[in-house]
Structure 1
């Protein structure tokens, strides 16, 4: 039972393009795929109701062909396999202009289940004329709407014309994307995914204006009596969207209680999905290729745990969130002190140190390009970078052949990286507790960590702001202005508080924009 968790989180090179492809398919392509799938169901139902007629229906054929010519609608192609089989059996000649045209599809459109070869001589002139004017293509996705490409580089048709089998595969890829989305964003185990059924989505709850809580009803399996126990998962909006699509994929006749992910996606279905993303269709849509890597519900759950634990107060957040989801992402994370929980803490501390060094190195590289930090602690950070530059120059002069700049930079920045704490809208450099505004406000000057909930980075001398924080401050300003507009004249105190918040956000934004403009000016020079 001991030992570290053997399931490794996914690398960013696998996780990022995977999630991008999954969400693009669910949010952008799903409505079109579902529409074509519904058209296929209706067509198959209509075909099953047809009867065979042994006498030609020339008038119906001619009317149908004339309609196609007038509207420019192509005839229907046979699948390559069907066309090859027809040639092998001598039913179609290799050089026949109609060799790949599905005459049976034309017959079904005219109310006849089967096209008889005896009809062909009389209809051939009209068929060849229609084929020459409108051509032929696969039956589904003919009039594909344009969607924005996943890479943001313009619009493309969501699909090229599809045969029935190709549409079936595409529906399967969408089902796999739904399962991947739920596993990656809710952290559910393989067995718990299998317990999600039609109707598992609970009514969303608006807990604040524009802020909703989404829940799924399912079963908690691990460590429970046979059959599990009923439980709920708090999830994101994207997970609910995936469940909605998965329900629609089952069709309108799917009864409540029907399993959504049975069988749950496996390595084969994932590899098929990855091959589609990396293939011509995915590349045409602008999807980034997904690198090789083992993607399983356990790996996705492990990745989610590490991503949560990365953030401010991350370990506690990971334990609470995964417990709330009824998913102990790796055994023992929140179950007992020591053991796996201690190993998880040690692993997260190590990952946080690597992350901090990476962030500080990136900030230093920005400094070298002229992108300066802003905020009350910016001067101290710039002074550190200046000293690092000076030390590097000294080392290069002494032994240029021995200095690896990247390694030297990391070595010089490691000590400061240990003081970095990520805030929602700032970086906190917790060097001197006596200078930390949050500790002074809380009356706990001897604490060994900052209090992120009491952070006022616009005034704290150990806080800096960077371009990556701009969206947060912009959203804060926008939200405060919206609330100000909804206040009555009597709410003067609340109005004054919000106006102060807007002024603070605008000041921080102006500082960030000022240093960004300075860097742009240097680039132009």
Structure 2
């Protein structure tokens, strides 16, 4: 059936397509719903490979509103809003929406329709501006929605009004919302943290071992797992090739195979484990191993003789792939078992995602959309001085020439810098997928969704759940092998998810000396290359997040110092007076809290507030580039100190009473350790020297410390 644009006020026929098939890629045309369907899939409206399988269910709507809002949704999908409407709402408004935003808009309409029905209002034309104002209050005060979410609801109603006036009969038109003429601010809850800054970093106790285990999978275990999955695929393919009617003699041949097992007392391979039931028949495995059709395997094993023998003598379905990698000097895994092996491969894919998402700073959708060949071998200095680069798509902010969202995304102008561990993760995935395929293609990594996710990646929800499954597997594995110290601790804020990786990376880069990703340093690999790569290619990357976390750290240090001074503590060092002044100014302006990128930029732009704590050296750097000894030339453009190159004679150094206390504690620990009989004498001597130096610095601090009068600013 061809698609024809309907006249205003006239809804389409029930069997009409909801969108012109010629505007949809051929692979997705079968997903286009009919106008009268009970549910509409939005998958045909997007080319983003990561979108969820969302459906608009018309049962959401009370009956009086169902058909008017179905017609409005059709108009929302097919017609842009007028430019006057766009200008009325300002820069955030788009003339046409993405599939995800269409889904949310119609969902917002259903919530509004139910709210009306609960109040006995059964027609859109009966809604007054006072009703809309009451609904806006309901969103904030009763539903306690965040400001951005409440605004999304109000914009959805603005669109409903707009399309009603243009395309719907008068009884189905919504009155003009009051916020279109009066401004939306008075109808919204108070502002709060938004965007990526609203996600809390993953705790170090969780992120540390999670990254270590992900890297173990990618760097150490991947070879074994990839070899095993190739054997698994080969066996599965052999079994599929035998899906035919049994040939004469095949049942007898399989029975002879079983006779040979019983004669030698060998077990019959079965699918072991609670998830398979008690001694389930592994039809695919036995079919591939014996060349017998699967149906014949099942039929023969139904014989009571073999069934009883199988129950009494069960054996594993082992792959021939050897386990070559080790952990702690022992094979990292027992021989691989056929039925459970796909789960192990799934965890390898998840580990690759964790490495890519955390160590590049990509957004989850950007990782999932990467394609084979995205990380070519560097050709020379023009590709980042020999560094590997990753070329991929970005979806956030991808717009066409009219400012509308491009669901397919756009190629990112500045590629991501890839450190060696990231390159390894890409190469692992490339071994499994074909050329020009997505690294996380659903048809390769999720057999359940082959028919509905062709040409698409694993969904965001699926990979998020797999991260939690990876953590559970690792913890069971570690506890089962007596490696309790390597268990991934539960994060106090709940699920790790996938959206928190970018924020966590920025947090660690901003808060570790020298911009190191400290969690990876403990694994012995990465150093300043990470932050250098981001600094050089910040456009569209995580530069704002890094600034945000750096500013939060600075604001917290300043406020802590200010409060300590108010409590009678002192500060020493060449930069002591500057630190006291900076702490007072920073505390007055920010109160120890930075909640927006704008605040972060304001703080970092003020040279008097450039305060960075170096916990390893027990000091605070009140950074002044012209005096910094960590940058000897002092002619560069570094806006932050290199805290891994602190010099004791630097004019930017200041210490607090807390630092002095920490130095004495460390000195006492070193002295106690030096007395141990197992410590070699030269090392013990160095420990005592270090302890004496720390005690001397602590004594110097108490001699030279400066305090302020209690209550002064």
Query: Which interval holds the TM-score relative to the shorter structure?
Result: 0.5 to 0.7
Q: 1:10 to 1:81 in 2, by over 3 A?
A: closer
Which of 301, 324, 334 aligns to 2:502? It is: 301
Per-residue CA deviations over 1:352-406 (Å, capped at 9, x if unaligned) read 669999xxxxxxxxxxxxxxxxxxxxxx99xxxxxxxxxxxxxxxxxxxxxxxxx
Q: 1:170 to 1:82 in 2, by over 3 A?
A: closer
Report the Cα offset of residue 158 of structure 1: 1.5
Structure 2 CA distance for aligned equivalents of residues 14 and 246 of structure 1: 25
Is 1:11 aligned to 2:203, yes or no? yes
Q: 1:290 to 1:441 in 2, by over 3 A?
A: closer
Listed as ranges, the matches of 1:297-446 within 5 Å are 297-311=498-512, 314=515, 321=534, 324=537, 326-329=539-542, 344-350=549-555, 422=614, 438=629, 442=633
Report the Cα offset of residue 12 of structure 1: 0.7
Q: 1:429 to 1:60 in 2, by over 3 A?
A: closer
SS class of match (2:297): coil
Listed as ranges, the matches of 1:200-215 within 5 Å are 200-204=374-378, 213-215=387-389
Specify the alignment match of 2:270 in structure 1. 77
Which of 217, 225, 228 aligns to 1:36? It is: 228
Is 1:109 aligned to 2:289, yes or no? yes
Report the Cα offset of residue 77 of structure 1: 0.8
Structure 1 CA distance for aligned equivalents of residues 479 and 419 of structure 2: 26
Report the Cα offset of residue 291 of structure 1: 0.9
Specify the alignment match of 1:199 in structure 2. 373
Which of 227, 249, 252 aligns to 1:55? It is: 249
Q: 1:306 to 1:224 in 2, by over 3 A?
A: same
Is 1:289 aligned to 2:488, yes or no? yes
Per-residue CA deviations over 1:427-468 (Å, capped at 9, x if unaligned) read 7776999x9783996589xxxx9964996859879999xxxx
Is 1:241 aligned to 2:424, yes or no? yes
Q: 1:422 to 1:201 in 2, by over 3 A?
A: same
SS class of match (1:234): strand
Structure 1 vs Structure 2 CA RMSD: 5.3
Q: 1:67 to 1:121 in 2, by over 3 A?
A: closer
Unpaired runs of at least 5, structure 2: 1-147, 149-190, 400-405, 442-456, 517-527, 563-571, 574-609, 656-680, 692-713
Which of 176, 199, 203 aligns to 2:350? It is: 176
Q: 1:437 to 1:171 in 2, by over 3 A?
A: closer
Specify the alignment match of 2:409 in structure 1. 228
Higher relative CO (Cα under 8 Å, sequence separation at least 6) belongs to 1
Structure 1 CA distance for aligned equivalents of residues 292 and 258 of structure 2: 13
Q: Which moved more, 1:60-69 or 1:282-291?
A: 60-69
Per-residue CA deviations over 1:201-245 (Å, capped at 9, x if unaligned) read 12136769xx95121110233223224332211121111111222
Tell me if structure 2 keeps the 8 A contact 1:78–1:100: yes
Specify the alignment match of 1:485 in structure 2. none
Per-residue CA deviations over 1:59-87 (Å, capped at 9, x if unaligned) read 676478759999x98641145679859xx
Q: Which moved more, 1:231-240 or 1:314-323?
A: 314-323
Is 1:516 aligned to 2:691, yes or no? no
Structure 2 CA distance for aligned equivalents of residues 437 and 43 of structure 1: 64
Q: What number of residue pairs does the alignment pair up?
A: 378
Specify the alignment match of 2:458 in structure 1. 263
Tell me if structure 1 keeps the 8 A contact 2:390–2:416: yes
Report the Cα offset of residue 32 of structure 1: 1.6
SS class of match (2:499): helix
Q: Which moved more, 1:277-286 or 1:174-183?
A: 277-286
Q: 1:195 to 1:354 in 2, by over 3 A?
A: farther
SS class of match (1:170): helix
TM-score (norm 2): 0.43
Structure 2 CA distance for aligned equivalents of residues 297 and 35 of structure 1: 28
Q: 1:13 to 1:344 in 2, by over 3 A?
A: closer
Tell me if structure 2 keeps the 8 A contact 1:194–1:260: yes
Structure 1 CA distance for aligned equivalents of residues 682 and 628 of structure 2: 20
